[in-house]
Amino acid sequence: MKFLGSSAVPILIAAAAWAFFQLPENADTGGWFQAWYADRQRCGLLNAEEFTLYSQRVVTPDGVVPAAVHVRRGVIQWVAPSSRKPPGGRHPVLDYGTSVIMPGLVDVHMHMSEPGRTHWEGLATGTRAAAAGGFTTVVDMPLNSIPTTTTPEFLQAKLKASKGKLAIDVGFWGGLTPENGGNTTALQELLDAGVLGLKSFMCPSGSDFPQTSIDHIKAALPLLGRYGLPLLVHSELPQPLSEELSGAPQVYETYLKSRPPEWERAAISALIDAARSSPESARAHIHVVHLSDADSLPLITAARASGTKLTVETCTHYISFAAEEIGNNRTEYKCAPPIRGRANRDKLWEGLLSGQIDLLSSDHSPSPPEMKLLEEGDFLRAWGGVASTQFGLPATWTRAKERGATLEDIARWWSTKPAELAQLKNKGSIEAGKDADFVIWDPEAVHTISKDTIQFKNKLTPYEGMQVTGKVEHTFVRGQLVHSQGRFASPVCGEPIVAFTPRMAFTGAVPT
């Protein structure tokens, strides 16, 4: 577990970890810490704590290059560009040929629904699916679980539920609700407990997580600004519909009209005004989650130009599907905000490629199939949420390569920028001193997504049957091979991220 809190105990644990990692390899500590660390090393599919990866295509901050990446005790020691595989020696050299070695993917928007609703998903199945998709870190949303993550005690319930279940590393967002929105002490306690930021809804969430008013958001911004942590916002502010809703509920267009793009623009405008309401509020970082309406991007761009700390994500389903392609009764596509039309999808891609949209997320939000009302096909009453985390990389690459995107773009959208949002300083890029988190994948492999390959609990997904380009082969988390060609590490290797523990010092020396 990584400690970010300000109490003495996390500092002492971090100091002990640092001291341990400064010992020479042959030091005889004879202590429990060394035994604990050695036990952690046995969780992966690769029986080696020091090794070198090689590929003709390694995605680094300096571009895609043939390179060797040396790992020791879960940390990248050095990255050496090389046109040839390095010779073997004391430690294994794993040659992946032309498969791409990329920084492990980071999904900042997942709903794993545990504790309380493991029939929806669960930490074990959710992180296993993420590992199969090349994700090495995800951040769990505070809602859909029972209890919701709105107090330190409820965060502890989440941590307790995660023990022995995490295939990859998992952080947690806290919830901003009317119950704690006006209580600075309560919010401070939640932030001190180790959440990575707060999440709020500006509209009904559909579950037992009440929406906040703009006043609740304004009250929380100064505190978040002092902590330097982000506020993530579901940005739909309900407005009167321009015309009475009509049409059969089995027709997707009926649902689409029920949540017009003006709701997103109204919410984003209100958030910008809130950020400008005081100097203290202006210090806060506001992040718009799952943007669906591309015509909101000029608002965001203008606000940034004037100094507002505002970032935005969109999701795989918004850039993969279009309203015109969704047939009657196909409620597996229902989500909020809704998937909009082809022209809007094209504009979202333009926003991604231009940098107006910072990053991608899955908004993985599964539910039992019966909640989707498949027999009735009622879009207005069916549960909203798309199950997708396992397929984010190939679904993105399939569309992205057609539009001239590069492997560096994929790494930025799915690794670097998400890690920056969650302030995961040890993750998001392949550099010396960073966690040895990697996804190794074949960007030329073409395959069809089938139900028998799905690892998340409830298999209903609009991606089933989709032909995609790009296939994940291996996933490393802190140097542990957690997934390889459909095999998974047991016991699992993931850790909860509620704080920061220094990893071992890296030598920084590249062999000549």
Transcribe 346-399 into DSSP letters: HHHHHHHHHTSS-EEE--B----GGGGTTTTT-TTTSPP-B--GGGHHHHHHHH
Helix (H) or strand (E) holding 430: none
Q: Are residues 296 and 195 in the same domain?
A: yes
Domain presence at residue 510:
no
Asked if 74 and 478 count as a contact pair (C-beta separation under 8 A), the reply is: yes
Q: Are residues 316 and 423 in the same domain?
A: yes
Q: Are residues 214 and 165 in the same domain?
A: yes
- Residue 502, both tokens: 């220094």
Domain presence at residue 511:
no
- In CATH, what number is assigned to the domain containing residue 34? 2.30.40.10
**Going by C-beta distance under 8 Å and a sequence separation of 6 or more, which residues neighbour residue 79?**
58, 60, 67, 68, 69, 70, 430, 431, 432, 510
What is the structure's pLDDT at 15? 41
Residue 354: count of CB within 10 angstroms of its CB: 10
Tokens 């590069």: give the residue.
406
Domain presence at residue 506:
no
What is the structure's pLDDT at 42? 72
**Going by C-beta distance under 8 Å and a sequence separation of 6 or more, which residues neighbour residue 361?**
107, 108, 109, 289, 290, 313, 314, 315, 316, 418
Residue in 396, 422, 399, 397 with CA at minimum distance from that of residue 106: 422
**Going by C-beta distance under 8 Å and a sequence separation of 6 or more, which residues neighbour residue 35?**
none
Q: Are residues 116 and 150 in the same domain?
A: yes
Please report, in tens digits, the pLDDT of each residue of the chain (512 residues total).
Answer: 544 444 443 333 334 443 433 333 333 323 323 333 334 457 999 999 999 999 999 999 999 999 999 999 999 999 999 999 999 889 999 999 999 999 999 999 999 999 999 999 999 999 999 999 999 999 999 999 999 999 999 999 999 999 999 999 999 999 999 999 989 999 999 999 999 999 999 999 988 899 999 999 999 999 999 999 999 999 999 999 988 888 999 999 999 999 999 999 999 999 999 999 999 999 999 999 999 999 999 999 999 999 999 999 999 999 999 999 999 999 999 999 999 999 999 999 999 999 999 999 999 999 999 999 999 999 999 999 999 999 999 999 999 999 999 999 999 999 999 999 999 999 999 999 999 999 999 999 999 999 999 999 999 999 999 999 999 999 999 999 999 999 999 999 999 998 543 333 334 444 43
Can you list the alpha helix ranges (DSSP code H) found in 122-260?
A: 123-132, 152-162, 178-181, 184-192, 214-227, 252-258
Q: Are residues 142 and 246 in the same domain?
A: yes
What is the structure's pLDDT at 470? 98
- In CATH, what number is assigned to the domain containing residue 322? 3.20.20.140
Q: Are residues 49 and 175 in the same domain?
A: no
Q: Are residues 312 and 351 in the same domain?
A: yes
DSSP state of 404: T
Q: How many helices (H) and strands (E) does the chain have?
A: 16, 20
What is the structure's pLDDT at 11? 39
Q: Are residues 483 and 449 in the same domain?
A: no
Q: Are residues 442 and 453 in the same domain?
A: yes
Helix, strand, coil shares of the chain, percent, nearest 5, are 35, 20, 45
How many distinct structural domains can be found in the chain? 2
Domain presence at residue 245:
yes
Q: Distance between CA 257 and CA 243 in Å, rounded?
A: 9
Q: Are residues 167 and 29 in the same domain?
A: no
Q: Are residues 298 and 440 in the same domain?
A: yes
Residue in 153, 41, 42, 59 with CA at minimum distance from that of residue 99: 59
**Going by C-beta distance under 8 Å and a sequence separation of 6 or more, which residues neighbour residue 466?**
320, 391, 395, 448, 449
Domain presence at residue 509:
no
Domain presence at residue 108:
yes
**Domain of residue 46, residue span:** 2-101+477-498
DSSP result, 309-359: -EEEEEEHHHHH--GGGPPTT-GGG--SSPP--HHHHHHHHHHHHHTSS-E
Residue 413 in 3-state DSSP?
A: helix
Domain presence at residue 508:
no
Asked if 140 and 172 count as a contact pair (C-beta separation under 8 A), the reply is: yes
Cα 411 to Cα 105, 191, 359, 368: the distances in Å are 8, 29, 10, 32
Q: What is the pTM of this model?
A: 0.91
Domain presence at residue 197:
yes
Q: Are residues 91 and 140 in the same domain?
A: no
